[in-house]
Amino acid sequence: MGEPGNWLLLVYKVPVEPARARAMIWRRLKALGAVYLQDGVAALPASSPTERALRALQREVANFGGTGYLMSCTVIAGHAQAVAAYNRARDEEYAEIVSRCRDFEAEIERETSARHLSYAELEENDEDLAKLKRWLEKVQARDVLGAGQGPQTAEAVARCEAALESFAAAVYEADAPR
């Protein structure tokens, strides 16, 4: 990661049409964890991987007939607000994961209560847990400034793992010869 307070800014303007261009740029910036300071101005803490990704995105903007400028800057005033905005975005992502964890645990409880103890259900739930874990890893990788909800989110995913282990044990027990 770059020095504390060093940020990369992508300042861009994309033509209204094709609309897919704007959506693609927005999706890629969101996937990187960028925060918008205003329309067309996205900021990320400076790092070599982030710079490479934003350089590629700046070229994409140009390919769509837009203009884009990638800038490196140091926040002179408002650093705490920039960090807070970045961490708020990570905490929102963490909150989404926690919500999905609650859904996952509720689904495990429903399947267990209904005695839907099949290997197909186990496989489906295992896939869902793998998706949650990958999502958490992606957000944790973007969480370079220490958002507050990271530890609680990791605990929520760990609870999902434990719930799946209990469900698996119930499936194995139901399948055991009597």
pLDDT single digits (tens) 38-66: 999 999 999 999 999 999 999 999 999 99
* Residue 2: per-residue pLDDT: 40
Give per-residue pLDDT as tens, 90-140: 999 999 999 999 999 999 999 999 999 999 999 999 999 999 999 999 999
* Residue 177: per-residue pLDDT: 82
CATH level 2 (architecture), domain 6-76 = 2-Layer Sandwich (3.30)
Cα–Cα–Cα angle for 20, 24, 26, rounded to 5 degrees:
120
Between 176 and 4, the more confident residue is: 176
Judged against a pLDDT cut of 90, whether residue 1 lies above it is answered with: no
Judged against a pLDDT cut of 60, whether residue 72 lies above it is answered with: yes
Mean pLDDT of 142-155: 96
Mean pLDDT of 145-166: 97
SS3 178: coil
* Residue 175: per-residue pLDDT: 86
Paired tokens of 121: 């259900």
Alpha helices (H) in the chain, listed in sequence order: 19-32, 48-63, 79-113, 119-142, 150-175
Between 72 and 177, the more confident residue is: 72
List beta partners, residue 69: 11
* Residue 4: per-residue pLDDT: 55
Judged against a pLDDT cut of 60, whether residue 3 lies above it is answered with: no
Mean pLDDT of 74-81: 90
Query: How far is residue 46's CA from residue 73's CA, in Å, rounded to a whole number?
Result: 9
User: What are the φ/ψ torsions at residue 116 (nearest 5 degrees)?
Assistant: -85, 70
